[in-house]
Structure 1
Amino acid sequence: MNAVASKARRAGAMLTVFLKEVRENLRDRRTVLSAFITGPLLGPVLFVMLINMQVSMQLDKIDKPLHVPVIGAQYAPHLLDALREGGIVSDAAVADPGQAVRKQDADVVLRIAADYGAAWRKGEPVQVEMFYDSSRQDTSSAVERVQKLVEAYARQQGAMRLVARGMSPGTAWPVLVAKRDQATPQSRAVLLFAMLPYFFVIALFIGGMPLAIDLTAGERERQSLEPLFANPVARWKILAGKLAAICAFSCASLAITLFAFAVVGQFIPAEKLGMELDLGWHFAGTVLLLMLPLVLLLASLQSLVAAFAKSYREAQTYVSLLMMVPAIPSALLAFLPIKAQSWMYAVPLLGQNLGIMQQLRGDGIAADQLMLCLAGTLAAALVAMGVTAQIYRSERLAISG
């Protein structure tokens, strides 16, 4: 009976601290605005708006006639006819094609050599120069469109020359490459949504950050920690109650973010790009499961970092620097061709990124990978929580100044 009563008292103390912190922070408009509105909703809306703008710009360039300045158009009328059939409108020549492209006066410029006609009649190769700027991402579709049309015209004319000489067109292409793209419409969505896991981690971070700062540095600055520690309650129970409150706000922020992506994701014209996007309940449930141990890890790290600050503003600076850490795994997976290994799932943040990307691709996450991800992150969370508990045992934590 004594053991049961002792456990009940411990649970009651933690619950009291938890309810106190949740109730007080729900009254704080700044905390509610940051945790439940600005962070969870603004990110998904801005992300989808940028994706839609980028897709719309690319689709407009594909559907509409493309104006291309052509230097020496009079030397290759048949080439110009072929380009016109492909939706290319030849504009007046420019004096300096390189400068026109660099100044963004034109996406791409064609220059046809003056000896084009003479070389063509002799059956010799002719040269068509294409000026473009590869550093401009918005012109890639226009450059590819013009290049494909010129190459298609070259292949057609080459085949006709061979036929005129009594030869098979296949003579010029002894090896043909048969492309077998194994990407599915759902897996292609990864090309646009490589940074999606970062938004989920940031939702956790922003959701718990105001509480983590206020419940440590904030209370320390207001000198309310010392009276709290004077109560006959073990320090680890106070910490557990505070961490539970931070985790509750973080989970709520993540849930709102997942719901927001599920809603706004329906407005992304993925099908026009040959993609399939599924951000529904199954995806959201998997993300929540993967993120559960990360919630405790981030809450412990935020509390630990904020505990070293003497004021609320100083803690904001420290914790904001910590926010850059979650971007590292997303950046690695977005820009480096990393092949996932089993041990990577046990690395906090990296494992979550890999799992979410697999779910987004439609491959799903294997049971052993899921267990490694949960176990690895939970172990790191317990270590961080233990270090934070040691800080809470120090009397210096309650002293301001």
Structure 2
Amino acid sequence: MSTLNNPLRRTRAVLTVFLKEVRENLRDRRTLTSAFLTGPLLTPLMFVMLINFTINRELDKAEQPLKVPVIGAEYAPNLVDALKAGGVLPQPAIADPEAAVRNQEVDLALRIRADYPKAWRRGEPVQVELIYDSSQRDASTPVERVTKLIEGYARVQGAMRLVARGLSPATASPVVVAKRDQATAQSRAVLMFNILPYLFVLTLFIGGMYLAIDLTAGERERQSLEPLFANPVPRWKIFLGKLAAICAFSTASLVICLVGFGIVGRFVPAEKLGMELHLGPSFALHVLLLQLPMIVLLGSLQSMVAAFAKSYREAQTYVSLLMMLPILPSVALMVMPIKPQDWMYAVPLLGQHLGILDLVRGTGVSPLHLAWCLGGSALAAIVAAGVTMQLYRSERLAISG
């Protein structure tokens, strides 16, 4: 009976601390707001609103008539007519188009040189100038649109010249590239929704952040850790109880976030871009599985960092700096677009990032990659929890000031 009682007593002590912390923090409005409202609910709403705004704005710019100042329109009336047929509205010439573009008065301007008619009659190549500023994000769509219209006009005129000389238009294209895009509508969604892994990890981080600070630095500042440590309960049990409470709040935060994305994700007009986005129950369960060891790892790291702080405010500063950690994989993959290797799935945060992108792409996470991801992150979580457990054994932790 005594051997059976020991595990039960250990579990009961951890459970007692867990229930105590959960019950107390459910009354804390700040903790509830950060764990269940700020991150999990506002993140999906803000994300969908931003995506909808971006997509609709770009599509409107691609479909609406485009006003472009044309310098020298009288030298190429046929080209101007072709632009009009493509939805471009030529505007009167401006004196200094370069300055107008730099000052963001216009997105782009078209200049047709005075020698255009003479070169055209001789059958020589002619040149037109598109003046734009590539540093302006609004300029990319109009520039691409006008460029395609001019190139299309050039191909038609080139084919007509060959026909006039008794030659086949195919003579000018001895090699034709046939593109066979293997991307599916769902796999293309990665191009636009590759920020989702970062949002999920950020939700986890915020969900447990205030609780981790309060249960360590907050109680230390309120001088309630010392009487808690005076109980005949091993420190590691107290830590595990507190860690379990942090993980519970983080998990609940992620679940709410996944449900939110599953609902509002239906309102993302991905089909307008030829994409498919599936954020249903299967996606949510797989994300939750991938993030399970990360929940423990982040909770342990937050507790560890908060243990070095002497006050709640100081702990907020330290933990806020730790918030930069989840963004590293996203930044690394954007700066260095490398092909994922098997070992990368074993790296905490990076493995979760790659796994979630596989889910968004529709290919799913292979058993090998899942094992690497869970194993690598679980090992890191055990190490972080062990280090934090050692900090809890220090008498200095219970002393404020």
User: TM-score w.r.t. structure 1 length?
Assistant: 0.99
Does structure 2 retain, via aligned residues, the 8 Å contact 1:194–1:333?
no
What is the rounded CA distance, in whole Å, between the counterparts of 1:335 and 1:286 in structure 2?
A: 27
Partner of 2:276: 276
Does structure 2 retain, via aligned residues, the 8 Å contact 1:306–1:318?
yes
Amino acid at match of 2:117: G
What is the rounded CA distance, in whole Å, between the counterparts of 1:280 and 1:99 in structure 2?
A: 50
What is the rounded CA distance, in whole Å, between the counterparts of 1:95 and 1:55 in structure 2?
A: 34
Tell whether 2:196 aligns with 1:196: yes
Amino acid at match of 1:267: F
Compute the displacement of 1:334 (Å): 2.9
What is the rounded CA distance, in whole Å, between the counterparts of 2:292 and 2:334 in structure 1?
A: 23
Q: Which moved more, 1:174-183 or 1:24-33?
A: 174-183
Q: Deviations over 1:28-67 (max 9, x none)?
A: 0011011100111122211211111111111111111111
> Structure 1: where are the runs of 5+ without partners?
none
Amino acid at match of 2:332: L
Compute the displacement of 1:103 (Å): 1.8
What is the rounded CA distance, in whole Å, between the counterparts of 2:63 and 2:146 in structure 1?
A: 14
Partner SS for 2:201: helix
Partner of 1:355: 355
Partner of 1:376: 376
Does structure 2 retain, via aligned residues, the 8 Å contact 1:108–1:142?
yes
What is the rounded CA distance, in whole Å, between the counterparts of 1:135 and 1:46 in structure 2?
A: 26
- Aligned pairs for 1:234-313 (under 5 A) are 234-313=234-313
Compute the displacement of 1:303 (Å): 0.3
What is the rounded CA distance, in whole Å, between the counterparts of 2:93 and 2:176 in structure 1?
A: 37
- Aligned pairs for 1:221-232 (under 5 A) are 221-232=221-232
Compute the displacement of 1:127 (Å): 0.9
Compute the displacement of 1:19 (Å): 0.2
Tell whether 2:166 aligns with 1:166: yes
Tell whether 2:44 aligns with 1:50: no
Does structure 2 retain, via aligned residues, the 8 Å contact 1:247–1:295?
yes
Amino acid at match of 1:306: A
What is the rounded CA distance, in whole Å, between the counterparts of 1:183 and 1:140 in structure 2?
A: 24
Q: Which moved more, 1:183-192 or 1:152-161?
A: 183-192
What is the rounded CA distance, in whole Å, between the counterparts of 1:138 and 1:277 in structure 2?
A: 26
Partner of 1:63: 63
Partner of 2:28: 28
Partner SS for 1:313: helix
What is the rounded CA distance, in whole Å, between the counterparts of 2:38 and 2:58 in structure 1?
A: 30
Partner SS for 1:301: helix
Compute the displacement of 1:107 (Å): 1.6
> Structure 2: where are the runs of 5+ without partners?
none
Does structure 2 retain, via aligned residues, the 8 Å contact 1:195–1:331?
no
Partner of 2:327: 327
Partner SS for 1:40: coil
Q: Which moved more, 1:133-142 or 1:82-91?
A: 133-142
What is the rounded CA distance, in whole Å, between the counterparts of 1:137 and 1:358 in structure 2?
A: 29
Compute the displacement of 1:319 (Å): 0.4
* RMSD (Å) for aligned C-alpha atoms: 0.9
What is the rounded CA distance, in whole Å, between the counterparts of 1:123 and 1:184 in structure 2?
A: 44
Partner of 1:127: 127
Does structure 2 retain, via aligned residues, the 8 Å contact 1:195–1:334?
no
Amino acid at match of 2:249: F
Q: Deviations over 1:256-288 (max 9, x none)?
A: 111111111111110001111111111111100
What is the rounded CA distance, in whole Å, between the counterparts of 1:329 and 1:303 in structure 2?
A: 22
Amino acid at match of 1:244: A
Tell whether 2:77 aligns with 1:77: yes
What is the rounded CA distance, in whole Å, between the counterparts of 1:191 and 1:334 in structure 2?
A: 11
